[in-house]
Structure 1
Amino acid sequence: MSQTREFRRGEDVVVIHDSGRPDGPEYVLVHGLGMAHDYWSELASVLEQTGRVHALDLPGFGDAPEPAAPLSMPAAGELLAELLVAEGIDRAVLVGHSTGAQVVTETAARHPELVDRVVLIAPTVNPRERTLAKQTMRFLQDIALVHPKALWYGVSLYAKAGPRWYAANLLPMLEHRIELVLPAVTAPTLVIRGEHDRIVPRDWAEEVARLVPDGRYAEVPGRGHETMIRAGRRVGELVARHAQGLPAGRPASLVDPPPTDRPLGVAAALGVMARDYAYAGVRQFAWLGARHEPHAWRRGEPDKPQVVLLPGVYEHWSFMRPLGDALNAEGHRVVVVHGMRANRRPIAETAARVAKALARSAPPPAGRVIVAHSKGGLIGKHVLLDDEGESLGVRGVVAICTPFAGARRARLFGDPSIRALLPGDATIVRLEDAASVNARIVSVFGTFDPHVPDGSALEGAMNVQVAVAGHFRVLAAPETAEAVLAGIARLTDDAHGATGSAPSSSTR
């Protein structure tokens, strides 16, 4: 049950909104400029399941009265530290968004004894754009892409704070040099950014993760500066994992540098697509006479996990036979799920069928790993979510060219089974938000995928790029077989290792 109280220091008042359970981490949520505790609601509902949540209204925002003058960022950091001491919030997990990230950073740097962990969501201000004109332009660019839900939150909260008070707090935000403070933050820190955030560019967010001594970086696909409003559940899961000492995002040392490869020209892209579809056309005939998988697939080394092949939409299991042969040659027993036909049924229904098929036999001692293509990867992730007790023995999923964030080009097709892969589909959104199983997924993809133009990289997973272009030809490439074998070994080693740690995310 939510409780509200005030913390006062002179004329500065902070309103604290408490919720959640008394045990577990102590989360302190610090909002950005013009915002208030309200916009944390979806994220807070996730954190409440693991610990105590303290969502703040800083002086002059939300339910907190306006003081005579705005606080500088160092002063706001000191105010937060005094609040932690006065309220008895021991070893807090400080979560700051936008300008709130600047406040949190000051507190963590000045009073490390009060802080257990830090989460910086969309941290401002990018030093290369520290002017009012540039920040205003970035704000307008971000607003142009904002979802109506987030826009309504923002407009209502900005109106409540008032334009005069909002403008008064701009100068302290711009004057603060967070890049000079970050190296003094000793607490493990997770930096979270929305993929389309115009205010916080990727290179700056990655730099923030590198500037703290113990930093990790996570990016939420398809979201902007308001990521915790539109993807509160997913961000909440990342925060909860970080608070509990579990891997969330990538270590800063593995954050990818900006891509230097030139994009394919039109002629080159068309050439890749032509070869890709030609390969797919040939493979579609493989189902003729392929009622049963090869007998050799039934044999394998007992200390290696069983491989379960899941094809994509309009693909028979035989579509993946070249990869199945390669895995079997390396000692894996390979099985398929019959009855999927062209794999046009809904993802959830097919996942249930796969689970039912796997449940007919006890999992082998070394467990199972699902190796899937395209839509098959989404089905595999659904199986991981549904198999909470891991009774099926599935160690993880190696997904190849899978549209984890949806495929926007699916709108070009009239077939409902393909349009179900659109980013806004309810199942796609649910799977995208369910980040808790991403550490048990290895995502393999090529250099150019005409069917998944936004890429198959999955936050929190191990991401591996192979030097092959296409959506279908990737399946037969030796580089892909090598990456899949490495992924299987990684998932199996982590499942049986002494530490039980999940695979960290990296891109090759």
Structure 2
Amino acid sequence: MATTREFRSGEHVIVLRESGRADGPDYVLVHGLGMAHEYWSDLAERLDATGTVYALDLPGFGDAPQPREPLSMEAAGELLAELLVAEGIDRAVLVGHSTGAQVASETAARHPELVDRLVLIGPTVNPRERTIMQQSLRFLQDVAVINPKVAAVGLAQYSEAGPKWFVANLRPMIEHRLERVLPQIAADTLVIRGEHDRIVPRYWAEEIAALVPKGRYVEVPGHGHDTMLAGVREVGELIARHAHGRPAGRVVSQPAEPMKAMQLSWPSALGFWALDYVYAVLRQLAFLTEGRRPPARWRTGDSAKPQVVLLPGVYEHWSFLRPLGDALNADGHRVLAVHGMGVNRRAIADTSLRIARALGRVRVPEAGRVLVAHSKGGLIGKHLLLDEHADALGIRGVVAVCTPFAGARRARLFTDPSIRALLPGDETIVMLGSATSVNARIVSVFGTFDPHIPDGSALDGATNIRVPVAGHFRVLGARETLLAVRDAVALLTAVDAEDAGDAADAETAGRA
């Protein structure tokens, strides 16, 4: 028989509905934005037979009163941890749907001692679509394939929450960076996605499973973002298997979909190729009108953020990367263009050495530097990471856009030695490919189709991000790329800060 009670912490109240049996796992079900515990009713009924089920109403939803301000995902995760302690649930199976997955992930990362296993169903927010407009459009697309019964339940609960409170909670959802939390989760984690989920694309769901140290991925066929309602039997069985330590889903070492180059017909490929070169020509001509020196405003920014150093590709002047430079400067970064590279035709090793010398002649910013590169520039950036003086130069990592880490076989179509140096068998390309120790400090960003790098830019051990844009040059000006690069810089900064904190803790412990 189900019982309902409240948990209160200050002005925040969580209403929980308990059901099931006492001799099994403790399932804690965390709903998504605008929902409440009723959304879990069918799934809770299936899980009742295997353990105790706690279905929650988070503050401001369902029967829980609204606080004055919406909680951030971090604060909601801490509140959930308080509830687990108060209820004596010390080895919970946390199950979060959509925004609830963000809350559950925060709890699991911050309080590993309280979480036995974690299940993330349709987890948000895809970092390549981190705007309210994009998420709203995805929601409307998903509604088009939703089950009518499910739509009725959802509409009733959205109405109960009220549009004002719903909108107020959108900002914390959008601003939360789930990708930074996932690597800190110690619990065995199962990521569940509905096959037709428009809000959570497959590549993002697989990336989540890859970022969690002990993550597995499974897809439920025939359903969308509402998969735990419309596919309640399949989802219930998956959760129960996972809760009892039986393998569910598959291990994902890297997100599969972003690794694949789009297969196009020759007419389509030629069309993309033509558009790509039109963009490249326009960027080359822009050099004549935008000036030979970077904008003065690039020299100013937030000293707490790393300086960004731009590394263009072959036959590219620094201004080729101006869209990225402008966006990162607007985000608070100081941006540096290294002069003297010309059109970047020198050998990779020689250029790397020259850049190292140039950076060594100026003071290293306290927040360090992140290299943002395109094509060959990404190879130069990796070469710099391998330099013994990389740390002294303050280089935190490299964000590489459309970089041929495994070489570019189409370079054989050119006679220019500076392009043929990018062939897969080139000595420097082979050396860089075998040097995997720095790959974790690289974020590789690439599009759906690259006419110059048909084998793709994915790099084992790096963070690989595919943006929904085709081309080798056009990618640089796409808004999706700007967002991905901004997040990549933030990710490298956060990882570096965590490493520095760990080193400081170890040094302190050593003194003790």
Q: TM-score, normalised by structure 1?
A: 0.51
Give the ranges of 4+ consecutive aligned residues of structure 1 lying more than 2 Å apart after TM superposition: 253-265
May I ask how many residue pairs the two structures share in their alignment?
265
CA pair 55-261 structure 1, distance change in 2 beyond 3 A: same
Name the % identity: 69
Tell me how far apart the structure 1 counterparts of residues 195 and 72 of structure 2 sit (CA, whole Å): 29
The C-alpha deviation readout for 1:110-133, integer Å capped at 9, x for no partner, is 000000000000000000000011
Asked if structure 2 preserves the Cα contact closer than 8 Å seen for 1:16 and 1:55, the reply is yes
Match of 2:157 in 1: 157
Tell me how far apart the structure 2 counterparts of residues 122 and 55 of structure 1 sit (CA, whole Å): 17
Within a 5 Å distance, the mapping from 1:367-386 to structure 2 comes to none
Report the CA distance between 1:261 and its aligned residue.
Answer: 6.9
Tell me how far apart the structure 1 counterparts of residues 110 and 255 of structure 2 sit (CA, whole Å): 27
Report the CA distance between 1:245 and its aligned residue.
Answer: 0.3
Tell me how far apart the structure 1 counterparts of residues 254 and 205 of structure 2 sit (CA, whole Å): 14
Counterpart secondary structure, 2:154: helix
Asked if structure 2 preserves the Cα contact closer than 8 Å seen for 1:33 and 1:100, the reply is yes
Tell me how far apart the structure 2 counterparts of residues 17 and 232 of structure 1 sit (CA, whole Å): 19
AA aligned to 2:7 is F
The C-alpha deviation readout for 1:32-75, integer Å capped at 9, x for no partner, is 00001111111111211110000000001011111111100000
Tell me how far apart the structure 2 counterparts of residues 263 and 39 of structure 1 sit (CA, whole Å): 42
Tell me how far apart the structure 2 counterparts of residues 261 and 82 of structure 1 sit (CA, whole Å): 47
Match of 2:8 in 1: 8
The C-alpha deviation readout for 1:312-331, integer Å capped at 9, x for no partner, is xxxxxxxxxxxxxxxxxxxx
Match of 2:232 in 1: 232
Report the CA distance between 1:252 and its aligned residue.
Answer: 1.8
Tell me how far apart the structure 2 counterparts of residues 11 and 256 of structure 1 sit (CA, whole Å): 44
CA pair 204-254 structure 1, distance change in 2 beyond 3 A: closer
AA aligned to 1:66 is Q
Asked if structure 2 preserves the Cα contact closer than 8 Å seen for 1:26 and 1:90, the reply is no
Counterpart secondary structure, 2:224: coil
Match of 2:396 in 1: none
The C-alpha deviation readout for 1:249-271, integer Å capped at 9, x for no partner, is 11123864455574899xxxxxx
Tell me how far apart the structure 2 counterparts of residues 116 and 6 of structure 1 sit (CA, whole Å): 24
Q: TM-score, normalised by structure 2?
A: 0.51
Match of 1:217 in 2: 217
Mark the runs of 5 or more structure 1 residues left unpaired by the alignment: 266-508
Asked if structure 2 preserves the Cα contact closer than 8 Å seen for 1:17 and 1:56, the reply is yes
CA pair 264-78 structure 1, distance change in 2 beyond 3 A: same
AA aligned to 1:115 is V
User: Does 1:147 pair with 2:126?
Assistant: no
Report the CA distance between 1:150 and its aligned residue.
Answer: 1.2
Counterpart secondary structure, 1:205: helix
Tell me how far apart the structure 2 counterparts of residues 112 and 20 of structure 1 sit (CA, whole Å): 24
Q: What RMSD in Å do the two structures reach over aligned CA positions?
A: 1.5
Counterpart secondary structure, 2:216: strand
Tell me how far apart the structure 2 counterparts of residues 146 and 132 of structure 1 sit (CA, whole Å): 21
Match of 1:362 in 2: none
Counterpart secondary structure, 1:54: strand
Match of 2:374 in 1: none
Asked if structure 1 preserves the Cα contact closer than 8 Å seen for 2:72 and 2:172, the reply is yes
Match of 1:112 in 2: 112
Match of 1:245 in 2: 245
Tell me how far apart the structure 2 counterparts of residues 242 and 187 of structure 1 sit (CA, whole Å): 11
Tell me how far apart the structure 2 counterparts of residues 143 and 223 of structure 1 sit (CA, whole Å): 11
Asked if structure 2 preserves the Cα contact closer than 8 Å seen for 1:217 and 1:255, the reply is no
Match of 2:204 in 1: 204
CA pair 240-254 structure 1, distance change in 2 beyond 3 A: farther
Asked if structure 1 preserves the Cα contact closer than 8 Å seen for 2:203 and 2:255, the reply is no
Counterpart secondary structure, 1:89: coil
Tell me how far apart the structure 1 counterparts of residues 214 and 47 of structure 2 sit (CA, whole Å): 22
Report the CA distance between 1:24 and its aligned residue.
Answer: 0.9
Asked if structure 1 preserves the Cα contact closer than 8 Å seen for 2:202 and 2:257, the reply is no
AA aligned to 1:15 is V
User: Does 1:182 pair with 2:182?
Assistant: yes
AA aligned to 2:203 is D
Counterpart secondary structure, 1:82: helix
CA pair 70-212 structure 1, distance change in 2 beyond 3 A: same
CA pair 201-240 structure 1, distance change in 2 beyond 3 A: same
Counterpart secondary structure, 2:6: strand
User: Does 1:137 pair with 2:137?
Assistant: yes
Asked if structure 2 preserves the Cα contact closer than 8 Å seen for 1:195 and 1:220, the reply is yes
Tell me how far apart the structure 1 counterparts of residues 86 and 119 of structure 2 sit (CA, whole Å): 22
The C-alpha deviation readout for 1:173-201, integer Å capped at 9, x for no partner, is 00100100100000000000000000000
Counterpart secondary structure, 2:90: coil
Mark the runs of 5 or more structure 2 residues left unpaired by the alignment: 267-512
AA aligned to 2:30 is V
Asked if structure 1 preserves the Cα contact closer than 8 Å seen for 2:15 and 2:63, the reply is yes
Asked if structure 1 preserves the Cα contact closer than 8 Å seen for 2:228 and 2:235, the reply is yes
